[in-house]
Structure 1
């Protein structure tokens, strides 16, 4: 495991933060921490990084205790709402970050060329940061985070201030890094981002992990059927696939474990003289789970 925590807790004078989080993150996966603003997501990342000391519990990063100095060389971190020096060019910013990592100057130059291609800023590296758009600033921030070619990458709300185009650009970078075998820990409150990039998800509410699982486990979405000439024979046949199916008018909502049975379901409808107008997965299932888990109240 790349990340392991055991009842990890961080409180501020007994308030806020998070408590008793035990989870693990596998090598090469995108693991998303999903929660409202103020749920404790950023505090958790900063504790994993050793920026904050835990109140109790513990954990391992790359098989070393939290805060291990040598491990930090193998970690990249993009903070939420970061600010870089506007008077620097993109190249100067990356070069200075390489020096902070204590990289050899020739290696820094070589790596900058690679990073500029990864984040799509080749040709813009000699512009000053103040001339960058929000999306470009976010991508140069990602460039700083991956400059040392880390094994593990922490991204804290990397797309929250971006428009749809900027979000897609950042998502594409995340996919590219995942394909390189990087492990990515993503903090976000944007459900759409979680659905698109995540292998596994943890839902955090007021500092407590309420749900953990793969996207398939958490989003076991029902099949929706719209059937003309719906009759008892059709319903009885469909109950063989899901005995607990729900019928509302001419519509059926049912769960199946394997998409390979969908043609058989259609066949049952047609064989019993039904007219199959629609068969699709129910949408916004993650949103329903999220609201059900954390509620609709104000952020803390």
Structure 2
């Protein structure tokens, strides 16, 4: 495992932060921490990267204790709402970060060329950061985080301040890094981002993990059917796929884990003289699950 925590806790005078988190993150996966503002997501990342000391519990990063210097050399970190020196160019910023990583100058120059391609800023590296758009600033921040070619990358709300185009650019970069077998720990409150790029998700509420699993495990999105001439024989046969299906007039909601069963469900309806007007997976299931899990009140 790349990340392992055991009852890890960080509180401030006995308040806030997070409590008793035990989880594991596998190599090469995108693991998303999903929670409202103030749920403890950023505090958790800052503890894992060694900026904060845990109150209790322990953990391993790349097989070494939290805060270990050798492990930190293999970590990249993009904080939330970061600010870089506006008078520097993008190239100067990346070069200075390379020096902070204690990389050799020739290696820095070579790596900068690779990073600029990855984050899509080739041709903009000699502009001053004050001339960058929000999306470009976010991408140069990602460039700093991946400059040392880390094995593990922590991203704290990397798309929260961006428009849809900017979010797509950042999302594409994350998927590129995933294809390079990088392990990515992502903090976010944007449900759409989680669904599109995550392998596994943990829902954090008031500093505690409430649910954890793959997207499919958490969502278990039901199938919605609209059927004309829906008769008792159709209902009885559909119950062989889901004994607990719900029926409201001509619409049926049922849980079907395997998509390969959908043609058989359609066949069942048609052979019994039903008219199949619609068959689709229910949308916004993750949103429903999230709100049901954490509630709607503001935690800040």
Q: Same fold (TM over 0.5)?
A: yes
**Distance across 2 between alignment mates of 1:15 and 1:222:** 39
Match of 1:240 in 2: 240
Residue 299 of structure 1 deviates from its aligned partner by 2.0
**Distance across 2 between alignment mates of 1:249 and 1:83:** 56
Deviations 1:50-103 (A, max 9, x none): 110000000000000000011111000000000000000000000000000000
1:122 alignment partner, SS class? coil
**Distance across 2 between alignment mates of 1:162 and 1:298:** 22
Match of 2:71 in 1: 71
Residue 210 of structure 1 deviates from its aligned partner by 0.2
**Distance across 2 between alignment mates of 1:172 and 1:35:** 22
**Distance across 2 between alignment mates of 1:233 and 1:82:** 61
Match of 1:139 in 2: 139
The 5 A counterparts of 1:276-295 are 276-295=276-295
**Distance across 2 between alignment mates of 1:222 and 1:2:** 33
Match of 2:113 in 1: 113
Contiguous gaps of at least 5 residues in structure 2: none
Match of 2:162 in 1: 162
TM-score by structure 1 length?
A: 1.00
Deviations 1:115-156 (A, max 9, x none): 000000000000000000000000000000000000000000
Residue 257 of structure 1 deviates from its aligned partner by 1.7
Match of 2:267 in 1: 267
1:91 alignment partner, SS class? helix
Deviations 1:30-66 (A, max 9, x none): 0000000000000000000111000000000000000
Match of 2:148 in 1: 148
Aligned length: 300
Contiguous gaps of at least 5 residues in structure 1: none
1:23 alignment partner, SS class? strand
The 5 A counterparts of 1:199-210 are 199-210=199-210
The 5 A counterparts of 1:77-92 are 77-92=77-92
**Distance across 2 between alignment mates of 1:249 and 1:12:** 54
2:202 alignment partner, SS class? strand
Q: State whether structure 2 residue 199 is matched by structure 1 residue 215.
A: no
**Distance across 2 between alignment mates of 1:76 and 1:150:** 6
Match of 2:101 in 1: 101
Match of 2:191 in 1: 191
**Distance across 2 between alignment mates of 1:2 and 1:11:** 24
**Distance across 2 between alignment mates of 1:239 and 1:70:** 57
Match of 1:253 in 2: 253
**Distance across 2 between alignment mates of 1:108 and 1:215:** 38
1:130 alignment partner, SS class? helix
Q: State whether structure 2 residue 108 is matched by structure 1 residue 123.
A: no
CA-based RMSD of the aligned residues comes to 0.4
Residue 29 of structure 1 deviates from its aligned partner by 0.1
**Distance across 2 between alignment mates of 1:54 and 1:72:** 16
Deviations 1:164-203 (A, max 9, x none): 0000000000000000000000000000000000000000
